[in-house]
Structure 1
Amino acid sequence: MRLPALTGIRALAALWVVMYHFRDDVVALFPALAVLDPLVRAGYLGVDLFFVLSGFILCHTYFDQFHNGVSLPAYRRFLQARIARVYPVHFVTLHIVLLGLLAAGTLGFEIYSINGSPAAYVAQLFMAHLWLGMGSTFNYPSWSISAEWFAYLLCPLLLIGMGRLRTPAQFGAVAAVAFLGSAALLAQRTDLAETWLPRIIGGFVGGAAVNMIYRATPAFRHGPVLIWGALALFSVGIMVHGGYWFNVCD
């Protein structure tokens, strides 16, 4: 069953991230929006929201297929579907950025500091750059794609684990450990090399656990209760999981 309500949450998350990156320009154009600056400055929490949504949606879509075990053909089809969804845009944007950097260098413009080695290019081509400590390479924002790819590779194992639990209380405990545990690990850390793994694991596992609560609680499956319940659960998860960013931004 599709969950159309989540499409709106995705759009809000994307808008939040965009506003974060262009916050100075937005305030310059619309000074009245300065009152929202504390919220906008935390806009990279939108990435964490995407991680939670990813865990929720993939659990919703693939739990029935993987909770009893994983066959090689099923795993291959799963990865093919994930690659088809994220890789074309990743490939195109990587090479657009690469061409832009080459053109800028040729014209004598100053280029921000990156790891521009052939090894870094190959790592980014295979979406493994973040795991290999090459987050600051070519298309920097694609670190989140690398983190997602890491989660995709392990997703069936997570769903097998979720299949061993039975009650909403158990799933709630998993969500709490995921969100609170990652927040504790991330306290006062801002370096991407130190934060990406707790962020993707905490968000993805927490999102999957929230989906299992949804599955195990019939009231969440009906109309407005689903929409507002999902929003509340996601909001609590993001505030707990990403609360460290608000401390960093103060």
Structure 2
Amino acid sequence: MSRLEAESESTSRRAPLIGALTGIRALAAFWVFLRHFRTEIVDALGPGPVTQLVIHISSAGYLGVDLFFILSGFILTYTHLTTMTTGYGWRKAVGFLWLRLARVWPLTAFVLMLFGAYFIVQALSSGDPSYLAQADPGRLVMHLTLLNGWFPSTLDWNGVDWSVSAEWMAYLTFAVGVVGLSRFAAVASRRVMITVIVLLMLPVLIVGASMQDDTIFLFANDSYVTAAGVLPIRVLGEFWIGAVLSLLLHRHLGAAAESGVAGRWRRLPLASLSAAAAIVVLLVVAYNDPLHFMRAGQQEFHDGVDMIAPAESIVVLPLFVLLIATLAVCPRDPLSRLLSTRPFLLAGRASFAFYLVHPLVIGAGLLAASVLHAESGPPLLIVGIGTAAAAWFSAWILWRFIEEPARKLLRRMLPAHIRI
């Protein structure tokens, strides 16, 4: 079989796109952006009940990565379970890992180089050698090998790519565990699958709720060093929740994705209701946070506005699972329709680039605000909107000219007999 024929056959066997699950990636990435920009939101809007409401939602943006982890397990199972387990062998496992590496590594490495350039420019322009100290070569190697999140450390270089390292850990388990997942799918009932999802969820909920306020479900309670064991509990638990959820909904996905022909319950706005319920739960938890104990030296308020994201907000996790499930099987839902529109699909495809580059763009936006003396009110709000727009434009550039070309190039490097 020629390479062209192999690629054609692989394409024909590819699972149909579930547009809403691509679109929601854009919302998850932007939610993380809002968390990192929430102090400026306070300065732009000024103190008040509306600002407090916005900040409660923004501060919980750390949960955007949890949405990503569940989505990753769901989509990879939906896309690769059959192709990987048909004639499974070490070549299939290596091929899968190569394709996942092709998806995440080139852009991760490129943005790390952008951070290195940023450190050098800042050191030269300010004369502050501390910027060069941030460009630690040993830690760069850890980032480039995607091992930076596996061991307790501070967040350095591109601090947000700890989640890419976590994803790599999940990919390794999937490459081996997909065989067991396939056997499980063949013998497990729906009730058993739901039970497994609940059991996988419990450690995530317990560990997450035990952490301090304003946590990003990552740091130890007494420092800003990543906590040992938290990463595998969080990422592997949520990734495999997504995988089992995909099995649970398997019989419904084809019809929902291809034709939209569904039963009466699928025509209900279940995804919209799930999203609304998640927001309500986050706000109820935030407004009734029983514990306000802080890390040493960290402010609880900014300009009189509570900036805390309660650790207990992790209780929204079951609603995230329900949201992903309903988006997948309820294509007629208003939220599903919105997330399946062309702008959201494009933003969803560029969401990984947006996630990786947004800290640099935020830094540039803050520098612009300082130069323009836009430190509060409408001027800062305008700068903030411009920063968000610049982040999405930068993400599109990186996706279009770095991420996608590199992915396609590395995919073509796979031998024709390895079809994933």
TM-score class, shorter-chain normalisation, is 0.7 to 0.9
Deviations 1:80-119 (A, max 9, x none): 2111211121011101111212332343347589875432
Distance 1:50 1:235, change over 3 A: farther
| Post-superposition offset of 1:56 | 0.5
Picking from 171, 188, 192, the partner of 1:170 is 192
**Cα distance in structure 2, aligned partners of 1:92 and 1:167:** 45
Q: Which residue of 1 aligns with 2:411?
A: none
Bigger share in helix: 1
Q: Could you say if the C-alpha distance between residues 163 and 212 of structure 1 is closer, same or farther in structure 2, counting changes exceeding 3 Å?
A: same
Give deviations 1:139-178, integer Å, cap 9, x for gaps.
1111011001111111123322222223222221121111
Aligned residue number for residue 209 of structure 2: 187
Q: Which has the larger radius of gyration?
A: 2
Deviates more, 1:112-121 or 1:129-138: 112-121
Matched, 1:25 2:43: no
Question: What is the distance in 2 between the residues matched to 1:232 and 1:216?
Answer: 23
Displacement after TM superposition at 1:60 (Å): 0.6
Distance 2:139 2:41 in 1: 33
Query: Scaled by the length of structure 1, what TM-score is found?
Result: 0.83
Shift of the alpha carbon at 1:55?
0.6
- Deviation of 1:133 (Å): 3.0
Which position in structure 2 is the counterpart of 1:211?
Answer: 246
Confirm or deny that 1:146 pairs with 2:165.
yes
Pairing of 1:58-137 with structure 2 (within 5 A): 58-67=76-85, 70-106=88-124, 107-109=126-128, 111=130, 116-137=135-156
1:182 deviates by 1.6
Letter in 2 for 1:153: L
Task: Say whether the 8 Å CA contact 2:38–2:59 is kept in structure 1.
Answer: yes
Paired letter, 1:154 = T
Secondary structure, counterpart of 1:43 in structure 2: helix
Higher relative contact order (CA 8 A, sep 6+): 2
* SS of residue in 2 equivalent to 1:13: helix
Q: d(CA) in 1 for partners of 2:178 and 2:272?
A: 23
Alignment-mate amino acid for residue 96 of structure 1: L
Cα distance in structure 1, aligned partners of 2:193 and 2:267: 17
State the alpha-carbon separation in 2 of the partners of residues 234 and 151 from structure 1: 26
Aligned-partner Cα distance in 1 for 2:156–2:206 = 28
Instruction: Write the letter of the residue equivalent to 1:72.
Output: W
The whole-number CA distance in structure 2 between the counterparts of 1:173 and 1:115 is: 45
Task: State the Cα distance separating 1:16 from its structure 2 match.
Answer: 0.8
The change in CA–CA distance for 1:144 and 1:223 in structure 2 (over 3 A counts) is farther
Check whether the contact 1:52–1:205 (CA below 8 A) recurs between aligned residues. yes
1:156 partnered with 2:171: no
Provide the aligned length of Structure 1 versus Structure 2. Answer: 247
SS in 2 for 1:26: helix
CA distance in 1, matches of 2:107, 2:130: 23
Q: 2:53 maps to what in 1?
A: 35
Query: Compared with structure 1, are the counterparts of its residues 114 and 4 closer, same or farther at alpha carbon in structure 2 (3 Å cutoff)?
Result: farther
How many angstroms apart in 2 are the aligned matches of 1:198 and 1:101?
33
The percentage of aligned residue pairs carrying the same residue is: 29
The answer on whether the counterparts of 2:72 and 2:242 sit within 8 Å (CA) in structure 1 is yes
